[in-house]
A and B are shown apart, each in its own frame.
Chain A
């Protein structure tokens, strides 16, 4: 493999070359602008359309019949809380333990294949997670349920937490590990008392990123939790979720329903963006503290 410069075949005048260089730099800047413009347009519209939809009844009432003014999405908020809550409770221990294995114990071929599989699973299409969980959970239980939705989200969240947690565990300096081991601390205790607390904010970051993903996913919930017009707190029954409700209302012809969809979008967007920004701030702080 060649590692060197690839000189051009022929050179033009210096003025022409400088002009060409400036033109290409201009194109790079243009790419930067084109990439971020949609973000402003999207956030702007969601704010404009979503803010008027937010009022007390939006958060306290349940799904209204078509063309009836008022109504809200309380059943969807509670449902999302239930589904994502269970998913987090399952995927955080799985993800953190997998990451601890990869970072602290993982050597050789087994660890390499686990890491590879984690990478691959990160790209699982979300609809496939839904279809898979339908196949093994919904069919077996003869019912759509919040629990099935949580399991579908776990398929997506487990690899996310694994990857991000492993990265933050690797930032923990080896000196700390060696110091603890040299003092005669057993390995499991060293991990529990030194490595995990040191990587703490990094692990929190990983969890927040995964939760943000869970809040926003529609497709897996669609095939597993189904949706529900009423408040449901039984994890074994069909349950509503905010993205699911937006999906249904967006495709309806009733303006009142569409308004509620925008209200759902602004709350969802706010939750996801706040989580992502917090996660970023935390991970920056951790990197500065350790590095």
Chain B
């Protein structure tokens, strides 16, 4: 009975949000996703800038976090000394326990000023001078920008991708590693020949879980992303994300217009994407583990 409650909870969450979002979709239809105007005064709602900002910050986060996480997961699998492995595991787990508000506070007062002073001009001066990349790194005087938000997200999702990747990598049979080594493979070759092919779909699953977390992260991102409406190709300009706009506008929203409904529509989109990613991730990780055994 109680256990079925979880299924009921899932259904009620989706139903409540869909109910709230219905007027918005009835009014704007698919224009809700492609509209660039978000104007509570005139009751016009288009979510494209938020969708764009969410995708860009999450993409930065994955691009930075994936190599680090996979490298770390492989390292934890390689290192036999418990003196190194245990502390490293504990430290990464603690990273996952830190509340997002603490990341946000540290990011806002320490990380962002530092990056804006050193990293942003450096990027604009080097990569920003190259053709094709020049539109990505146009410096702005704004404190918050999409790159900073992406970097804090990367720090936050490393423990998630690492933990799941590690689980998958641990299921790779030892025989395969030993066979590779016995054939004269170097350590790296044995990883590439025996470990990575078997762990690949699991690592993809781990990444999806990290992506879901990055898409839904609210507080740290809303403190760092700049909350600027508009679509800019430059990673160094302010952006806005779906969770951030829900957090910022929800309490002030008036009940007369469609604002609450539009925000609930954004929440529905977000939760639908998160659930699909979580389900896919689960299937991939399970398949990877079954394949290995």
For A41, list chain B residues within 8 Å (CB): 106, 110
For A162, list chain B residues within 8 Å (CB): 6
User: Are A28's CB and B98's CB within 8 A?
Assistant: no
User: Are B189's CB and A8's CB within 8 A?
Assistant: yes
User: Are A120's CB and B72's CB within 8 A?
Assistant: no
A107 to B79, CA, bound (A): 39
Please tell me if B83 contacts chain A, counting CB pairs below 8 Å.
no
User: Are A128's CB and B270's CB within 8 A?
Assistant: yes
Which of the listed residues A93, A269, A273, A275 has the most CB atoms from chain B within 10 Å of its own CB? Answer: A269
For A24, list chain B residues within 8 Å (CB): 187-188, 191
User: Are B189's CB and A123's CB within 8 A?
Assistant: no
B67, B68, B102, B278: which contacts A265 (Cβ < 8 A)?
B102
A1 to B287, CA, bound (A): 11
Given A42-B103, A219-B219, does the pair A127, B246 have CB atoms closer than 8 Å?
yes
A124, A159, A247: which contacts B271 (Cβ < 8 A)?
A124
Please tell me if B130 contacts chain A, counting CB pairs below 8 Å.
no
Please tell me if B218 contacts chain A, counting CB pairs below 8 Å.
yes
A34, A223, A276: which contacts B68 (Cβ < 8 A)?
A34
Interface SS of chain B: helix, strand, loop or mixed? Answer: helix
User: Are A219's CB and B243's CB within 8 A?
Assistant: yes
**B81 → chain A, closest Cβ, in Å?**
13
User: Are A123's CB and B99's CB within 8 A?
Assistant: no
User: Are B95's CB and A36's CB within 8 A?
Assistant: yes
Q: C-beta contact mask, A29-56 vs B, less than 8 Å → 1, else 0?
A: 1111011101101100110010000000
Please tell me if A10 contacts chain B, counting CB pairs below 8 Å.
no
A19 to B33, CA, bound (A): 51
Please tell me if A132 contacts chain B, counting CB pairs below 8 Å.
yes
User: Are B92's CB and A246's CB within 8 A?
Assistant: no
Please tell me if B24 contacts chain A, counting CB pairs below 8 Å.
no
For B95, list chain A residues within 8 Å (CB): 35-36, 38-39
Q: Closest residue of chain A to B97, judged by CB?
A: A276
Please tell me if A89 contacts chain B, counting CB pairs below 8 Å.
no
A153 to B213, CA, bound (A): 17
B158, B193, B209: which contacts A35 (Cβ < 8 A)?
B158
B-contacting residues, A242-275, CB 8 Å? 243, 246-247, 250-251, 258, 261-262, 265, 268-269, 272-273, 275
Please tell me if A6 contacts chain B, counting CB pairs below 8 Å.
yes
A20 to B191, CA, bound (A): 12
Q: How many residues of B contact A (CB 8 A)?
A: 88
Q: Closest residue of chain B to A242, judged by CB?
A: B101
A250 to B183, CA, bound (A): 58
User: Are A31's CB and B278's CB within 8 A?
Assistant: no
Q: C-beta contact mask, B183-226 vs A, less than 8 Å → 1, else 0?
A: 10011110111100110000000000100110111110001000
Please tell me if A25 contacts chain B, counting CB pairs below 8 Å.
yes
For A5, list chain B residues within 8 Å (CB): 176, 179-180, 183, 193-194
For B193, list chain A residues within 8 Å (CB): 5-8
**B276 → chain A, closest Cβ, in Å?**
9
Which of the listed residues B76, B88, B188, B194 has the most CB atoms from chain A within 10 Å of its own CB? Answer: B188
For A272, list chain B residues within 8 Å (CB): 97-99
User: Are B12's CB and A125's CB within 8 A?
Assistant: no
For A27, list chain B residues within 8 Å (CB): 71
For B194, list chain A residues within 8 Å (CB): 5-6
For B26, list chain A residues within 8 Å (CB): none
A97 to B180, CA, bound (A): 47
| Besides A46-B106, A101-B2, A265-B106, 11 other A-B contacts (C-beta < 8 A) | A1-B291, A24-B187, A28-B74, A31-B68, A35-B69, A93-B2, A98-B2, A121-B10, A130-B246, A158-B9, A216-B101
Which 9 pairs across A and B sit closest by C-beta, in order of nearness?
A: A216-B99, A125-B216, A31-B71, A21-B186, A21-B188, A123-B278, A101-B3, A131-B267, A276-B97
A-B contact pairs, 28 of them (CB 8 A): A3-B176, A7-B193, A17-B189, A20-B186, A31-B67, A35-B69, A35-B95, A94-B5, A98-B6, A118-B6, A121-B9, A121-B10, A123-B209, A124-B13, A124-B216, A125-B212, A126-B218, A127-B243, A128-B267, A131-B17, A131-B264, A131-B267, A216-B99, A217-B99, A218-B100, A222-B251, A250-B108, A272-B99
Q: Which A residues form the contact surface with B (CB < 8 A)?
A: 1, 3-8, 17-18, 20-21, 23-25, 27-32, 34-36, 38-39, 41-42, 45-46, 49, 93-94, 97-98, 101-102, 106, 110-111, 113-114, 116-132, 134-136, 155, 158-159, 162, 212, 215-219, 222-223, 226, 243, 246-247, 250-251, 258, 261-262, 265, 268-269, 272-273, 275-277, 280
Q: Which B residues form the contact surface with A (CB < 8 A)?
A: 2-7, 9-10, 12-13, 16-17, 19-20, 67-72, 74-76, 78, 88, 90-95, 97-106, 108-110, 155, 158, 162, 176, 179-180, 183, 186-189, 191-194, 197-198, 209, 212-213, 215-219, 223, 243, 246-247, 250-251, 263-264, 267, 270-271, 274-275, 277-279, 282, 291-292
